[in-house]
Amino acid sequence: MNDADPVEEFFARERRDITPAPGDEAHWTALVETNRRTRRARWTGFAAGAAAAVVLVGGVGYLLRPGDGTTALPASQTSSVSSSGTPSGSASRPTTGAPTTPQTTPPTSATTSRTTTAVSADFRLASVSQAGQTTIFGLGTSSCSGRACTQVVRSLDSGRTWRAVATFGDGVDAAGRTSSGKVGTDSTLTDIRMANPKVGWAFGGGLKMTTDGGFTWSDYPHEGKAVVALETDAKQVVIVSAGGDCNGRTCGGDLYVQRAAVGESAPTTVGRLSGGRILGATVAFADGQAVVSPDNRGATDGGDLPSVVTDQGLQTVTLPGCSATAGPATVVTPADGRGHFGFCASGGAAGRTGYAVSSSADGGRTWTQVDSASPLLLVNGSFSAFAAADAAHLLAVSGGDPAVHGSLKVSSDGGRTWADPASPPPMPDRGWAWAGAPGAGMYYAVPAGGSGSFWKSTDDGQTWRQVRVAG
Cβ atoms within 10 Å, residue 234 = 14
Average pLDDT over residues 86-103: 37
pLDDT (tens digit per residue) in 166-200: 999 876 776 654 344 457 676 789 899 999 999 99
Model confidence at 94: pLDDT above 80: no
In this prediction the pTM is: 0.74
SS (H, E, C) 316-361: ECCCCCCCCCCCCEEEECECCCCCEEEEEECCCCCCEEEEEEEEEC
Percent of the chain with pLDDT over 90: 44
Domain ranges in the chain? 317-471
Asked whether 258 and 267 are in contact (CB, 8 A), the reply is: yes
Which of 19-23, 27-31, 301-305 has the weakest average pLDDT? 27-31
CA-only gyration radius of the chain, Å: 24
Over the range 162-189, which residues count as b (16 or more CB within 10 Å of their CB) and which as e?
bbbbbbbeeebbbbbebbbbbbbbbbbb
Average pLDDT over residues 143-169: 93
Tell me the pLDDT band of 441, cut-offs 50, 70 and 90: very high
Tell me the pLDDT band of 456, cut-offs 50, 70 and 90: very high
